[in-house]
């Protein structure tokens, strides 16, 4: 009888040890992911502040504000918004709340297929419009405007952009 009791104790110790090891592994994974995200977050924020002197490297999304115009720059073939989008759009959201419209215009670079570039510029403009909606701007207060010249001037990084400006209703 004492023999089976010792087997039960051994099995319980094994189960508790296994459970402890499993919990330790899960906690270590969560902490590792959190540390990794926190370590890379300052680099992302530094690369894409709400107001910057120039767009980031050619293949990194960034955002900056110049003379009241919010300019989103995009990585090649991407429509992902840069970190800091909400902060950069704060004045636009405020202006819309005061009765103005947000005018969103998409541009593209000169590389690749022109039709695909036009679609990508449209996708980027729609992504910015969705960000405005997520910030509480009503759809009827957002105007998607195709610029007369959709191909941007300057470097390819400067050309791959969406501009958001306020206009009178």
Tens digit of each residue's pLDDT (9 = 90 or more) over 32-83:
655 555 554 443 343 333 444 344 455 788 999 999 999 999 988 889 999 9
Domain that holds residue 101: 62-167
Residue 52: inside a domain: no
Please tell me the total count of domains within the chain: 2
Together in a domain, 67 and 10: no
Tens digit of each residue's pLDDT (9 = 90 or more) over 95-109:
999 999 999 999 888
Residue 90: inside a domain: yes
Tens digit of each residue's pLDDT (9 = 90 or more) over 106-140:
988 888 888 898 899 999 999 999 999 999 999 99
Do the beta carbons of residue 40 and residue 92 sit within 8 Å?
no
Residue 2: inside a domain: yes
- Which pLDDT does position 65 carry in this prediction? 92
Residues near 61 by Cβ (< 8 Å), separated by ≥ 6? 48, 72, 73, 74, 75, 78, 80, 81, 82, 83
C-alpha span between 146 and 61 (Å, rounded): 21
Q: How many CB atoms lie within 10 A of CB 76?
A: 14
What are the distances in angstroms from CA 81 to CA 50, 60, 61, 160, 168? 12, 10, 6, 12, 26
Together in a domain, 92 and 162: yes
Q: What is the CATH number of the domain that holds 92?
A: 3.30.1330.60
Comparing 10-14, 124-128, 148-152, the range with the smallest average pLDDT is 148-152
Together in a domain, 130 and 98: yes
Residue 53: inside a domain: no
| DSSP letter (8 states) at residue 142 | E
The verdict on pTM exceeding 0.85 is: no
């Amino acid at each position: 009888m004492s023999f089976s009791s010792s087997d039960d104790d051994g099995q319980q110790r094994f189960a508790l040890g296994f459970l402890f090891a499993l919990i330790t592994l899960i906690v270590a994974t969560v902490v590792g992911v959190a540390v990794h995200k926190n370590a890379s977050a300052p680099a992302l924020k530094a690369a894409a502040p709400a107001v910057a002197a120039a767009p980031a490297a050619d293949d990194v999304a960034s955002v900056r504000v110049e003379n009241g115009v919010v300019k989103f720059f995009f990585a090649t073939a991407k429509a992902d918004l840069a970190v800091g989008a909400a902060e950069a759009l704060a004045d636009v959201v405020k202006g819309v709340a005061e009765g103005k419209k947000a005018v969103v215009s998409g541009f593209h670079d000169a590389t690749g297929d022109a039709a695909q570039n036009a679609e990508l510029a449209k996708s980027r403009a729609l992504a910015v419009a969705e960000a405005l909606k997520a910030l509480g701007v009503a759809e009827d207060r957002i105007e998607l405007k195709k610029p007369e010249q959709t191909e941007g001037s300057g470097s390819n990084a400067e050309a791959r952009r969406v501009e958001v400006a306020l206009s009178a209703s």
